[in-house]
Chain A
């Protein structure tokens, strides 16, 4: 199981037995000391908000707020923000990474599954690691991207497009262990940033477009041994199996788990969302609600048992994965304090659930949608007629890419607003044949986008509790821009055309912008070192870091 793969370049060329022996002894001694003082113990992750100079988990905290408590860069001075340094990736590809910053080191992922450690002051690389990706790797359903790493103790964890989870030594990039999460020959692959819990690393898989049966896995953080696996599609005899009709559609039913979940340590619930059923646009062989696709699952992190579930889009035929980032926050509803979970779903609705019980509290559209007459009292969509994909094509909003997608929303505890980039775009949906062959596309149709001047986007600020829009900032096109809110009263975001900008978090007024020359697909974050705050964003083939 433990297997060294890939190439690593630490910049050192040490030769000679004597030197190596001395060094080994020194390393042993060092390892002993280091194990006693692990760099990022679970306790640090639990209180990630208390060290805003670092960014130690994918979305900034287990609550996934993507909010920085740093306020050196603020409404008054953001207009003088300028480039501090840039780092160009090694191999062209789409960069969707959310870097981590820990104690002076940035851990960045590059496409397809490379990890690079950078000096946060200068941008100079410290080490880089690229797994050996087989040339016939199967990546169907998204470009070969990666969205970031997790860190726990002294290990950095990366998921790969050939379906592996690899643990690297955080100081050197050396492989500690490398395991196959799913069989890439059948289309399983990983793009998400893993989530580190207490002694466990949790990951999900991509691959519904090849007809996988999705699952969420937890691995022992030190050894890579599987701790538990929870399938997103029930097996015969399990609750929910009856929602797949009488055929064998459940075996190839999709339900990917390709984005990082959120976690509530007090309730001890891990929230993981699921993707579309397969085949995407043809439900002939899967009549029924298709649990637990397009859902959120609340799991017991100790054993993976499902405590509750809520399904956003039953029997989906539009590829509206529900994997979007879930934000955890607290608010009063009808005079009662509630622990809430909010998600701007790909299907165009903004949902608020009670995260202790899964009770549906509200759901309102935040983008143009033409498929539902709203949601019923339990949150189930009231579908319009004539919205199903067809041979001749059926125009429906939102589009295949959704009103939202993998890109991160943000929640500011200061403003109590949920910030989301919305995509205003339709698709002419086609139904086609679907034939399952392992490792090939199993989609049953597709679509033609209503694009160009007929589509648009917007950054929207929603009242987190009600979903009511407070302001919007229009974007030229429907992009894939993640947002970062800060204690400086700012929201950072980007555009497909290469704009990177700061908005006033209260009003949406643009306060600063720059053109960085490539579609902004990176996920912004903030850190501080030597008393100076930085904002990082990847666009095109470059990571840009700004400071005052």
Chain B
């Protein structure tokens, strides 16, 4: 009888203790997340330039051990840095918080993905983007874009493509550089080249123009090198789509890769 009573006490007490600890961890983890992670993963992990984390399953962090590893080491060449070393306590708090946002029911993505897919075809997006091996290669591949970017980032990319160029998904140029940065070069003999920067060093720059042609320029041969920061070769679709259509297109993109 006494043994049974003791067991009951333990059984009642344990979940309470565990829950209290987790609640503290989640709260502390949220504070840490606000400093270290929010810039890329968005408030409450809703995503941005980095992937949304408010999902029950994370592609690069299927279990807690993998999540700890991603936080501790980053994902080289995929834009995820090791922001800083964290203590064991801080790691536990961050993991607790990230898992907690994965359990919260996500707001339903507005829009109809099937209609968005039809729009994608109609607008000719495939002229510049590859999905599942099909399309043009001037712009970024979108096969898994639903995993990589949050819906708000994708909406902004459709409406204001120049507002935030991708960074950190490609190993070249290098981590942190604007990818698909438009560049205009006027050579000393008057030829003008406009395209996206593929790479650059102290003395040279490599460009791919809108026709896909590759250009190599030695900087000392150029009269003008204009890096068009704040511009994009992708047109804005803000004035070409109704609000509902934008929702549809974002819903389609958000599902690419089977992300939702």
- A positions within 8 Å CB-CB of B: 390-393, 430, 432-435, 441, 443, 445-449, 451-455, 474-477, 495-499, 501, 510, 513, 515
- Interchain CA distance A441-B177 in the complex, whole Å: 29
- B35 and A434 contact, CB distance less than 8 A: no
What B residues does A393 contact at CB under 8 A? 35-36
Looking at the complex, which of B46-54, B149-157, B196-204 is the stretch in contact with chain A? B196-204
Say yes or no for B44: interface residue by CB 8 A criterion: no
Known contacts A432-B90, A448-B81, A451-B176; is A515 also within 8 Å of B201 by CB? yes
Given contacts A393-B36, A476-B200, 15 further A-B contacts (CB under 8 A): A391-B31, A430-B36, A433-B90, A434-B87, A435-B89, A443-B84, A448-B39, A448-B81, A449-B176, A452-B167, A452-B173, A452-B178, A496-B174, A499-B201, A513-B202
- Interchain CA distance A237-B136 in the complex, whole Å: 73
Q: Which residue of A lies closest to B167 (CB)?
A: A452
Known contacts A476-B200, A515-B201; is A452 also within 8 Å of B84 by CB? no
Interface centre among B84, B90, B204 (most CB of A within 10 A): B84
Within 8 A of A (CB), among B18-44: 31-32, 34-36, 39
In the complex, 24 of the A-B residue pairs with CB atoms within 8 angstroms, ordered by the A residue number, are A391-B31, A391-B32, A430-B35, A430-B83, A433-B87, A433-B89, A433-B90, A435-B87, A446-B83, A447-B84, A451-B175, A451-B176, A452-B176, A453-B177, A453-B181, A453-B229, A476-B200, A495-B201, A496-B174, A497-B201, A499-B202, A499-B203, A513-B203, A515-B204
B172 CB, nearest partner CB in chain A, Å: 10
Q: Which residue of B lies closest to A140 (CB)?
A: B85
- Interchain CA distance A438-B178 in the complex, whole Å: 41
- Interchain CA distance A455-B177 in the complex, whole Å: 9
Say yes or no for B163: interface residue by CB 8 A criterion: no
**Cross-chain contact of B35 among A391, A475, A501 (Cβ < 8 A):** A391
- A392 and B87 contact, CB distance less than 8 A: no
Say yes or no for B57: interface residue by CB 8 A criterion: no
- A432 and B202 contact, CB distance less than 8 A: no
Say yes or no for B115: interface residue by CB 8 A criterion: no
- A475 and B229 contact, CB distance less than 8 A: no
- B178 and A453 contact, CB distance less than 8 A: yes
What A residues does B83 contact at CB under 8 A? 430, 446-448
Top 6 nearest A-B pairs (CB, nearest first) are A446-B84, A452-B176, A451-B176, A497-B201, A452-B177, A441-B85
A440 CB, nearest partner CB in chain B, Å: 9
- Interchain CA distance A196-B84 in the complex, whole Å: 37
A385 CB, nearest partner CB in chain B, Å: 20
**Cross-chain contact of A392 among B34, B167, B203 (Cβ < 8 A):** B34
A238 CB, nearest partner CB in chain B, Å: 31
Say yes or no for B86: interface residue by CB 8 A criterion: yes
Q: Which residue of B lies closest to A515 (CB)?
A: B201
A117 CB, nearest partner CB in chain B, Å: 33
- Interchain CA distance A477-B175 in the complex, whole Å: 11
What B residues does A513 contact at CB under 8 A? 202-203
A318 CB, nearest partner CB in chain B, Å: 13
B117 CB, nearest partner CB in chain A, Å: 33
- A452 and B87 contact, CB distance less than 8 A: no
Known contacts A441-B85, A447-B84, A477-B174; is A390 also within 8 Å of B202 by CB? no
What B residues does A497 contact at CB under 8 A? 200-202
- Interchain CA distance A447-B35 in the complex, whole Å: 10
- Interchain CA distance A515-B202 in the complex, whole Å: 10
What B residues does A501 contact at CB under 8 A? 202-203
**Cross-chain contact of A430 among B84, B167, B227 (Cβ < 8 A):** B84
- A446 and B85 contact, CB distance less than 8 A: yes
Q: Which residue of B lies closest to A433 (CB)?
A: B87
- Interchain CA distance A449-B175 in the complex, whole Å: 11
- A432 and B175 contact, CB distance less than 8 A: no
- B positions within 8 Å CB-CB of A: 31-32, 34-36, 39, 81, 83-90, 167, 173-178, 181, 200-204, 227, 229
- Interchain CA distance A190-B88 in the complex, whole Å: 27
- B84 and A445 contact, CB distance less than 8 A: yes
- Interchain CA distance A497-B81 in the complex, whole Å: 20
- Interchain CA distance A513-B200 in the complex, whole Å: 15
- B90 and A453 contact, CB distance less than 8 A: no
- Interchain CA distance A432-B87 in the complex, whole Å: 8
- Interchain CA distance A433-B89 in the complex, whole Å: 9
A322 CB, nearest partner CB in chain B, Å: 22
- Interchain CA distance A112-B83 in the complex, whole Å: 25
What B residues does A447 contact at CB under 8 A? 83-84
What B residues does A434 contact at CB under 8 A? 87
What A residues does B181 contact at CB under 8 A? 453
Known contacts A443-B85, A446-B83; is A392 also within 8 Å of B35 by CB? yes
- Interchain CA distance A390-B35 in the complex, whole Å: 8
- Interchain CA distance A393-B40 in the complex, whole Å: 14
Interface centre among B89, B201, B227 (most CB of A within 10 A): B201
- Interchain CA distance A453-B200 in the complex, whole Å: 11
Q: Which residue of A lies closest to B83 (CB)?
A: A448
Q: Which residue of B lies closest to A454 (CB)?
A: B176
Q: Which residue of B lies closest to A391 (CB)?
A: B35
Q: Which residue of B lies closest to A443 (CB)?
A: B85
- A432 and B31 contact, CB distance less than 8 A: no
B216 CB, nearest partner CB in chain A, Å: 11
**Cross-chain contact of A452 among B32, B35, B175, B201 (Cβ < 8 A):** B175
- Interchain CA distance A448-B201 in the complex, whole Å: 23
- A432 and B84 contact, CB distance less than 8 A: yes
B193 CB, nearest partner CB in chain A, Å: 19
- Interchain CA distance A99-B85 in the complex, whole Å: 33
Q: Which residue of A lies closest to B179 (CB)?
A: A452
What B residues does A454 contact at CB under 8 A? 176
Q: Which residue of B lies closest to A459 (CB)?
A: B202
B91 CB, nearest partner CB in chain A, Å: 11
Q: Which residue of B lies closest to A450 (CB)?
A: B176
What B residues does A392 contact at CB under 8 A? 34-35
Interface centre among B83, B85, B89, B173 (most CB of A within 10 A): B85
A397 CB, nearest partner CB in chain B, Å: 16
- Interchain CA distance A23-B49 in the complex, whole Å: 69
Interface centre among A434, A443, A476 (most CB of B within 10 A): A476
What A residues does B177 contact at CB under 8 A? 452-453
A520 CB, nearest partner CB in chain B, Å: 10
- B36 and A448 contact, CB distance less than 8 A: yes
- Interchain CA distance A499-B34 in the complex, whole Å: 39
Q: Which residue of A lies closest to B205 (CB)?
A: A476
- Interchain CA distance A475-B88 in the complex, whole Å: 39
B181 CB, nearest partner CB in chain A, Å: 7
- Interchain CA distance A498-B88 in the complex, whole Å: 38
What A residues does B85 contact at CB under 8 A? 432, 441, 443, 446
What B residues does A477 contact at CB under 8 A? 174
- Interchain CA distance A434-B229 in the complex, whole Å: 40
**Cross-chain contact of A432 among B86, B174, B229 (Cβ < 8 A):** B86
What B residues does A452 contact at CB under 8 A? 167, 173-178
What A residues does B35 contact at CB under 8 A? 390-393, 430
What B residues does A446 contact at CB under 8 A? 83-85
Known contacts A432-B90, A435-B87, A445-B84; is A453 also within 8 Å of B174 by CB? no
A142 CB, nearest partner CB in chain B, Å: 13
